[in-house]
């Protein structure tokens, strides 16, 4: 084991020596050697009882022993003698023998008497300390101005369990790592930590039946909405009292915002009465092609005053309002305003961008025009509103985005101090540029986890995420809102895991995270899993499976066959090292399922690209592989829903539109005789397949 790895990977601040340096035994053999104690005020909805139940649940899964939970008053006149908690024999909990230890969860009289408190912790902070025969778990304050986080004591409970070797790699039973032992000992600890990132947010993006053609997609997969919902719910249901994201200590609340029509709420009213407030289009009209995603004339002073006065009224009516979004609408089929006044706000020496000029609003027909960044134009609009609003309400914040054609820092203008910037790109120089232009409140809102949403192939950007989160945390980032976990856990699960852990501890390195994941999840096979993911990191950085889905697949000098053989060899070595550990073998099979899926997609992509270029391809084999893809998708959907989120993939890939040159834009089967493979227990994937030919055989093809 690497010296100092645990300390480096957890970034936990040790405040001097623990009050007593002896370890604390929680379970010894088949008997409880400790009790869990919560404050008398803790009811069934309290964070203290939630943390206590989590500890009891996981300890029982580790050892088979269930620790009792008591309210402090049930210990009677418990007292401190020579640095240890002493409980009179008539108050001894049933089933606990000898001199037992105590897990003091939350602010108790006994913790205070032991001299262990929560002083110095910030919102969402935690303290985990041993003292004599007690383990003390405390949380910091739950709120401050514009920031709430009641999870501190739960974070301490999770830290304790992770110190005992537990991890939660991906949702569901298989991803939960709980070592088996009949003796559980807590080493001497005194840890205080307040998360540097106050709101730790990763969007959890499941496919919902409200999205577009969802019902049609599900029908094409031979399932029903109800059946899919049951399958998905069972897959992500946590076997312990907290979900995967809660275990990773995501959470905390700070004012957040999204696209909001640049602050204009009554757009239809405005379009009817003040069309001049809207963006001048290429056809000379102010038409917006419908009112769903309108664009505005940012130089219009009447519009600016209208939006500002509306915000002032809203705050007058609701004094609790702390932030209002001024972010423009996202996307749509209308052109940015082309009027002379707006264009005069764009500095000629601004960074280059490309504007889309739509033939008319609402039409997808468009052409591109080289132009300059629109940031200064947007900043004129935002600052003008902020000046009016803060004259009435000096503490009200206004949310804006560094995004799209206004991602670059401004050239000529500085930010009003009440503007809160959500930064969508991931480059460091741009972040610093916004800060140099006066951004005092800035947070990261990237789309970085959407990299494989259109193909779901194997990728890993753990090192890249570690670099980004560490840099932004060191340069003023107080919150994240990262898009999005798309639930391709067999191909991108490590990156999801790393992103979550970096939100809690932004100073871990990518290598540390990969090593931690491999060691805890794959035991004796850890060396090979670590090498597997390091290689995937290299391949992703080289663009092997297209880090930017809009660029398609790029090839390097190493053939796909060689890469697959290399990666399969590492997974096979990990499986052999696991021996008869069935859980580790199953985890390896889960990863192999993602590798096999990637190879099938890669082969079909290559065939489609060659066919589109006019090269000859084996059409019979292409049809056979497209049929295999359909069967694989159905099997994953029903039996392995966490491996690849099939409904989301079909929707995001536009039903595999990239295979249209193979007549492959489908998920149904070309031969009705293949329908008997669906839901037939004789056919399906196990994760033990070693090639596409093995996958074909798994479905009798």
Distances (CA, A) of 693 to 483, 596, 603, 627, 689: 36, 11, 12, 13, 9
- Segments of 445-515 assigned E as strands: 482-485
Phi, psi of 284 (to 5 degrees): 85, 0
Tokens of 90: 């008539």
Per-residue pLDDT, 292? 84
Tokens of 630: 């359909």
pLDDT range class, residue 663, cuts 50, 70, 90: confident
Q: Residue 689 pLDDT more than 70?
A: yes
Per-residue pLDDT, 211? 55
pLDDT range class, residue 209, cuts 50, 70, 90: low
Of 22-26, 121-125, 517-521, give the lowest mean pLDDT range.
22-26
Q: 174-184, pLDDT tens digit by residue?
A: 999 999 999 99
Q: Residue 677 pLDDT more than 80?
A: no
Task: Pick the closest to residue 289 from 297, 299, 298, 279 (CA basis).
Answer: 279
Task: Pick the closest to residue 637 from 652, 629, 571 (CA basis).
Answer: 629
Residue with more model confidence, 674 or 375? 375
Q: Residue 166 pLDDT more than 70?
A: yes
The DSSP element (H or E) to which 403 belongs, if any, is: none
What is the rounded average pLDDT for all residues in the chain?
A: 92
Q: What is the mean pLDDT of residues 303-317?
A: 98
Q: How many C-alpha atoms does 546 have within 13 Å on its Cβ side? A: 19
Rounded to whole angstroms, the Cα distance separating 68 from 531 reads: 43
Beta-bridged to residue 294, according to DSSP, are none
pLDDT range class, residue 93, cuts 50, 70, 90: confident
Residue with more model confidence, 665 or 296? 296
Within 10 Å of residue 237's Cβ, how many Cβ atoms? 11
Torsion of CA 208, 211, 212, 213, to 10 degrees: 0
Q: What is the mean pLDDT of residues 535-552?
A: 71
Q: What is the mean pLDDT of residues 195-203?
A: 97
Rounded to whole angstroms, the Cα distance separating 56 from 103 reads: 10
Whether 372 and 316 have beta carbons less than 8 Å apart is answered as: no
Pairing of strands 202-204, 482-485: parallel
Rounded to whole angstroms, the Cα distance separating 130 from 565 reads: 49
Tokens of 458: 């194997």
pLDDT range class, residue 6, cuts 50, 70, 90: very low
Q: What is the mean pLDDT of residues 50-63?
A: 98
Q: What is the mean pLDDT of residues 309-324?
A: 97
Distance of CA 665 to the CA centre of its chain: 30
Q: Residue 576 pLDDT more than 50?
A: yes
Of 89-93, 315-319, 359-363, 689-693, give the lowest mean pLDDT range.
89-93
pLDDT range class, residue 14, cuts 50, 70, 90: very low
Q: Can you list the domains of the chain with their CATH numbers?
A: 5-193 (3.30.379.10), 202-254+489-698 (no CATH), 261-445 (no CATH)
pLDDT range class, residue 210, cuts 50, 70, 90: low
- Tokens 């995001």 locate to 652
Rounded to whole angstroms, the Cα distance separating 139 from 283 reads: 60
Per-residue pLDDT, 137? 98
Tokens of 550: 């809009």
Rounded to whole angstroms, the Cα distance separating 296 from 329 reads: 10
3-state SS string for 361-373: CCCCCEEEEEEEC
The DSSP element (H or E) to which 453 belongs, if any, is: none
Rounded to whole angstroms, the Cα distance separating 296 from 275 reads: 10
Per-residue pLDDT, 551? 39
Phi, psi of 358 (to 5 degrees): -80, 140
Per-residue pLDDT, 2? 32
Q: Residue 645 pLDDT more than 50?
A: yes
Per-residue pLDDT, 219? 77
Going by C-beta distance under 8 Å and a sequence separation of 6 or more, which residues neighbour residue 216? none
Distances (CA, A) of 535 to 455, 476, 520, 529: 20, 33, 19, 10
- What is the DSSP track for 637-688? HHH-TTTS-HHHHHHHTTTTGGGGGGT---SS-SSGGGGGGTT-TTS---S-
């Amino acid at each position: 084991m690497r010296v100092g790895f645990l300390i480096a990977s957890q970034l936990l601040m040790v405040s001097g020596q623990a009050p007593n340096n002896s370890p604390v035994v929680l379970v010894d053999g088949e008997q409880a050697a400790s009790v869990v104690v919560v404050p008398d005020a803790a009811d069934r909805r309290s964070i203290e009882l939630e943390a206590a139940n989590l500890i009891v649940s996981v300890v029982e899964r580790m050892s088979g022993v269930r620790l009792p939970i008591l309210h402090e008053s049930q210990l009677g006149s418990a007292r401190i003698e020579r640095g240890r908690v002493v409980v009179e024999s008539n108050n001894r909990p049933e089933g606990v023998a000898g001199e037992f230890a105590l897990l003091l969860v939350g602010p108790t009289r006994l913790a205070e008497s032991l001299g262990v408190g929560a002083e110095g912790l910030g919102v969402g902070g935690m303290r985990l300390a041993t003292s004599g025969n007690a383990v003390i778990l405390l949380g910091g304050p739950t709120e401050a101005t514009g920031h709430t986080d009641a999870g501190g004591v739960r974070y301490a409970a999770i830290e304790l369990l992770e110190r005992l070797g537990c991890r939660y790699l991906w949702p569901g039973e298989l991803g939960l790592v709980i070592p088996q032992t009949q003796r559980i000992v807590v080493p001497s600890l005194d840890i205080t930590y307040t998360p540097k990132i106050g709101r730790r947010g990763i969007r959890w993006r499941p496919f919902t039946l409200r999205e577009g053609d969802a019902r049609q997609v599900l029908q094409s997969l031979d399932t029903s909405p109800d059946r899919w919902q049951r399958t998905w719910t069972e897959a992500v249901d946590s076997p312990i009292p907290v979900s995967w994201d809660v275990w990773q200590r995501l959470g905390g609340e700070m004012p957040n915002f999204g696209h909001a029509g640049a602050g204009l709420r009554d757009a239809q009213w405005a379009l009817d009465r003040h069309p001049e407030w809207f963006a001048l289009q290429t056809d000379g009209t102010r038409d917006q092609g419908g009112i769903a995603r309108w664009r505005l004339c940012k130089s219009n002073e009447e519009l600016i005053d209208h939006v500002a006065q509306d915000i002032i009224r809203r705050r007058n009516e609701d004094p609790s309002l702390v932030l209002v979004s001024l972010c423009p609408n996202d996307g749509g089929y209308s052109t940015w305003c082309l009027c002379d006044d707006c264009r005069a706000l764009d500095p000629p020496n601004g960074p280059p961008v490309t504007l889309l000029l739509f033939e008319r609003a609402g039409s997808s027909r468009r052409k591109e025009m080289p132009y300059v960044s629109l940031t200064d134009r947007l900043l004129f609009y935002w600052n003008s509103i902020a000046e009016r609003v803060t004259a009435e309400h000096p503490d009200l914040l206004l949310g804006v985005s560094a995004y799209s054609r206004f991602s670059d820092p401004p050239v000529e203008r500085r930010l009003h101090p009440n503007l809160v910037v959500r930064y969508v790109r991931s480059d460091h120089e741009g972040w610093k540029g916004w800060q140099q232009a006066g951004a005092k409140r800035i947070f990261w809102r990237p789309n970085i986890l959407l990299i494989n949403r259109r193909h779901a192939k194997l990728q890993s950007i753990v090192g890249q995420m570690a670099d980004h989160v560490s840099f932004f945390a060191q340069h003023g980032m107080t919150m994240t809102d990262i898009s999005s976990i798309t639930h391709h856990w067999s191909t991108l699960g490590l990156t999801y895991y790393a992103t979550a852990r970096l939100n809690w501890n932004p100073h871990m390195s990518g290598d540390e995270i990969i090593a931690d994941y491999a060691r805890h999840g794959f035991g004796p096979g850890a060396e090979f899993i670590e090498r597997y993911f390091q290689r995937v990191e290299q391949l992703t950085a080289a663009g092997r499976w297209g880090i930017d889905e809009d660029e398609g697949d790029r090839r390097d000098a190493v053939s796909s066959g060689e890469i697959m053989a290399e990666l399969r060899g590492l997974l096979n070595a990990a499986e052999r090292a696991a021996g008869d550990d069935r859980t580790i073998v199953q985890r390896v099979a889960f990863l192999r399922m993602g590798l096999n899926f990637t190879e099938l997609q890669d082969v079909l992509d290559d065939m489609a690209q060659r066919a589109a270029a006019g090269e000859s391809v084996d059409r019979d084999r292409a049809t056979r592989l497209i049929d295999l893809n359909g069967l694989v998708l159905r099997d994953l959907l029903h039996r392995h829903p966490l491996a690849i989120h099939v409904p989301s993939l079909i929707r995001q890939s536009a039903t595999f539109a990239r295979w249209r040159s193979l007549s492959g834009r489908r998920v149904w089967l070309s031969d009705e005789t293949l329908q008997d493979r669906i839901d037939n227990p004789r056919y399906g994937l196990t994760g033990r397949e070693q090639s596409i030919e093995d996958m074909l055989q798994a479905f009798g093809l």
